[in-house]
């Protein structure tokens, strides 16, 4: 209900962390954690407000989330290893890894898990 307050608190905490973490002798991981937690609550609250009806895209990602969570890290590490010899800027590398890891994770879910025995093992409901 009050997602916007979490957004404000999270944004202020995050920018305070960025502005002061290098200048002060204080462990600002606590501030960063609090900002991240507030921003997470803000996103969850906003999505609850915006998505009020059943949605096939949201359902697809919800059903595939556990598999994607399991496989994303090895995929990210593989992509980073393959891109090791290329000279990319940090933003380009991040965007490329994010896009490729998402595509490969979703493709592996669709081809290996969805409506397959492993999907039922991971909790997929039968049609």
The string of pLDDT tens digits covering residues 42-78 is 999 998 888 888 888 888 888 888 899 999 999 999 9
Question: Is the confidence at residue 107, as pLDDT, over 90?
Answer: yes
Torsion sign over Cα 31, 70, 125, 103: positive
User: 43-46: long-range contacts (C-beta < 8 A, 24 or more apart)?
Assistant: 43/3, 44/3, 45/1, 45/2, 45/3, 45/6, 46/3, 46/7
Per-residue confidence (pLDDT) for residue 45, from 0 to 100: 92
- Residue 124 confidence class, pLDDT cut points 50, 70, 90: confident
- pTM for the full model? 0.64
Cβ–Cβ < 8 Å for 20, 28? yes
Q: What is the mean pLDDT of residues 81-104?
A: 92
CA distance 47 to 53: 11
Per-residue confidence (pLDDT) for residue 59, from 0 to 100: 85
């Amino acid at each position: 209900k009050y997602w916007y307050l979490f957004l404000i608190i999270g944004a202020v905490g995050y920018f305070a962390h960025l502005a002061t973490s290098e200048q002060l002798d204080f462990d600002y991981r606590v501030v960063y954690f609090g900002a991240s937690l507030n921003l997470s609550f803000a996103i969850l609250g906003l999505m609850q407000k915006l998505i009020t009806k059943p949605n096939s895209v949201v359902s697809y990602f919800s059903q595939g989330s556990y598999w994607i969570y399991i496989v994303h890290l090895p995929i990210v590490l593989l992509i980073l290893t393959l891109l090791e010899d290329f000279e990319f800027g940090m933003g380009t590398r991040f965007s490329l890894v994010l896009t490729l890891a998402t595509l490969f994770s979703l493709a592996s879910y669709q081809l290996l898990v969805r409506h397959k025995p492993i999907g039922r093992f991971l909790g997929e409901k039968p049609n």
